Structure 1
Amino acid sequence: MPARLRSFIGTIIIIIMVIVYAILATSYAAANLAESPWWVHLLYFIGTGLLWVLPAMALIKWMAGRKPTK
């Protein structure tokens, strides 16, 4: 697969993934953490704010492709 096509597909997937993830994480917090103290909200959003990076890293690695061999 050409590198430009792989980058385009990966970019679209990352955008969709971040939007869906943000909606799900916020919906969960609104439904289950409404009465929690501020520090629980802080810890939850720090954790969920960093958690989406793991699948994004794998997708970016795929987008980069294989390193050329010498």
Structure 2
Amino acid sequence: MPVRLKKLIGTVLLILLVIVYALVATTIAVAQLAESGPLTHFVFFLVTGLLWILPAMAIIKWMVAPPRVGR
């Protein structure tokens, strides 16, 4: 796959990941944490704020991987 195409696909995937992840995390927070204290909110948003990095790293690693030789 050409490098430019991989980067375009990866960029679109990253944007979709951030949008969907933020919506899901916010929906869960609103539905489950309404009666919780500030420490619970802080921990939830700290964890969910860092958790999206794992799939983003996988997408970025795929984007910058050199093309396979022989294909």
TM-score (norm: length of structure 1): 0.92
CA–CA distance in structure 1, aligned partners of residues 12 and 66 of structure 2: 20
- Unaligned regions of 5+ residues in structure 2, if any? none
CA–CA distance in structure 2, aligned partners of residues 57 and 42 of structure 1: 24
CA–CA distance in structure 2, aligned partners of residues 8 and 37 of structure 1: 42
CA–CA distance in structure 1, aligned partners of residues 39 and 12 of structure 2: 34
> Are 1:61 and 2:61 counterparts?
yes
Counterpart position of 1:15: 15
Counterpart position of 2:49: 49
- Unaligned regions of 5+ residues in structure 1, if any? none
Q: How many residues align?
A: 69
Identity among equivalent pairs (%): 55
CA–CA distance in structure 2, aligned partners of residues 6 and 32 of structure 1: 38
Structure 1 segments of 4 or more deviating over 6 A?
none
**Over aligned residues, Cα RMSD in angstroms?**
1.7
TM-score (norm: length of structure 2): 0.91
